[in-house]
Structure 1
Amino acid sequence: MIDDEPDVLIDREIDATTVRIYQLRVAHPTDHPAELAERAGLAADQVRAAERLLSRLGLLQRTPGGGWVAINPENAAESLLAPMEGDILRQRVAMAATRERLHALSGDYLEARSMRSARTSIEAVEGIENIRAVIDDLARTCTESLDALVPGGGQSEAALSAAAPLDLELLKRGVRIRSLFQHGARRHRATARHVSRITAAGARVRTAGVLASRMQIYDGELVVLPLDPGHSAAGVALVRDPSVVDYASQFFQLSWGAGLDFDGTGEEDAPVAGTAPIGQERDVLLMMAAGLSNDEIADRLGVSARSVSRVVANLMTRLNATNRFQAGVEAATQGWLTS
């Protein structure tokens, strides 16, 4: 039924006429097209075209008597998207298997790189105490700049207590510090206090929606990366290879340029009615449209599921939507998913 026009799911929006016909079919399931056309004040051809589109979307189904019955949008979405979700799941499984096979080579790679000269090698450091010792040493020897990506939203008291004296000492020596947190850090009191303290001393701090991994770049010459982004305590890699450091610096600059200044209040500007979402709101909307649950969105943004629920509820209200499917349709209609 949808094979003859596969692009209907991607390229064609649900216009006001189609929505009106769908509503009338819900209210008047036994009407003939001519009756429905009269109710809607439309031509019969317009009604038939709208019904064909609704049928391809799974929102209308034929009855044994040849009429139409309207289907709940959530049920239609499940039926229509199930094959695609199956394909995505299979791709994710294949990606996970490939990732595991590649990760299995990490030890061999690091061992081989350790045979190169110290200035171009990758040094692996494991154990939390060893990591702290290395970070302390890098902070003592840093002379020009420290750029850091800090994912996870609000930071733990232990992490902030360890970072504060190092950052303040660097700033006192005239080292330029730029830190990019996630938007969720704005509403975390301890993190907001820490940011206020270091910005008062001269640091620059911004926030972004999703950060791929923790990263620190010292003097534009050495980058510290986690061996396992999902478990920071697993260890870090100290990379001095110029090409890798240059790539990391460009990646940081790109992320920094897209960030929002952290003003120290711990809150983002309130959304203005009728305007497209920005910042964390836009990140949540895009992930909603991609089919992620509130818990999955919270994990990626480094915020609580309750915070995501509040943002979702606000978006649904602004879009005048009663469910996520309807919110996605309305957001696409308003251009919020592409602006």
Structure 2
Amino acid sequence: MPCLMDTALLHPDPDDADWLIPVLPSAALTQRLQPIEREIREQRRLAIELADVFEPFMAITAHAEPTTQGLTVLEGGDRIGAVIERATAECRSEILTVQPGGGRSEDSLTEAMKRGQTVLDRGIMMRTLYQHTVRHSQGTLAYAARMAQGNVQIRTLEELVDRLMIFDRTVALIPARADRQAALELRHPGLVEYLAKVFEQQWNRATPLVEEVPYPPSTDGITGVQRTIAKLLVEGHVDEAIARRLGMNVRTCRAHIAKIAAALGSGSRAQLGYLIAQSGILDKDT
């Protein structure tokens, strides 16, 4: 009976206090819900008032990114592009860029051409590192030829770690996610200088785009790029990882692997690794 009284399913008879009268469950439920609904309405009203109070402050910080000691997290392609545009506009003397991967899409080349023309017009020095595979991309070669008319130098390497942009050695951008939808804007002098030194080391090892890649001569029917693939195979990398590191598609990578296997007389992937190690072709790298 106390539970029924607490849930309003029983209430005292107004004519006789010694008796309890049952209440319809729907009526009892309505009675119990009324104070809860009043509280909900009050909380909703309070939430609206708070939102109105904070709205002017939210507008001030709507476009700000979390920054910690010279590091800013940039979310979204549009925001990253806007920061690159701003850094390019503020740049006064030098831009260093690393662009791994093979040939670039028409859209990305058009955007790069527009940004690069601005750099040329202002007399800014620009150095860019690509991977050797761009030498087989007509679109990228045409872009490079156009850019090389000014203070722009382009070199290629077989392997590059990841994308990098450095402006006047004061601000750098590096990717924060593989999908390229997040990046880090770095302004800490120590970090930017370290990245600039990494760039210089890679630049000194790279080959100017107008020159032939100094691959060692083919040996036993295996080219220089195929020796690089063989080395990565022996190290245990899968086809997709090798293709990504060398800036080529997986189909091209597997075609090279098939040629290596044919040259060494391998009938399986396990045997291929053994034959590569036994053949001594990796000892002939320079």
Show the counterpart of 1:238. 185
Shift of 1:319: 5.0
How many correspondences in the alignment? 219
- Please list, as runs of the form range in 1=range in 2, the aligned pairs for 1:1-339 lying within 5 A after superposition: 111=66, 113=68, 116=69, 121-228=70-177, 230-233=178-181, 235-263=182-210, 272-274=217-219, 280-316=225-261, 323-332=271-280, 335-336=283-284, 339=286
Give secondary structure in 2 for the equivalent of 1:200: coil
Q: Which amino acid aligns with 2:277?
A: V
Name structure 2 gaps, 5 residues minimum: 1-64
Deviates more, 1:280-289 or 1:130-139: 280-289
Q: Is the 8 A contact 2:66 2:73 kept in 1?
A: no
Report the CA distance shift for 1:197/1:328 in structure 2 as closer, same or farther (over 3 A): same
Counterpart CA distance in 2 for 1:244 and 1:279 is: 35
Q: Is the 8 A contact 1:224 1:236 kept in 2?
A: yes
Give secondary structure in 1 for the equivalent of 2:192: helix
Identical-residue share of aligned pairs (%): 23
So what's the TM-score if we normalise by structure 2? 0.67
Counterpart CA distance in 1 for 2:175 and 2:207 is: 25
Counterpart CA distance in 2 for 1:112 and 1:137 is: 17
CA RMSD of aligned residues (A): 2.9
Give secondary structure in 2 for the equivalent of 1:140: helix
Name structure 1 gaps, 5 residues minimum: 1-109
Shift of 1:268: 5.2
Shift of 1:253: 0.8
Counterpart CA distance in 2 for 1:262 and 1:135 is: 25
Instruction: Say which one has the larger Rg.
Output: 2
Shift of 1:112: 6.5
Report the CA distance shift for 1:276/1:170 in structure 2 as closer, same or farther (over 3 A): farther
Give secondary structure in 1 for the equivalent of 2:113: helix
Q: Which amino acid aligns with 2:209?
A: F
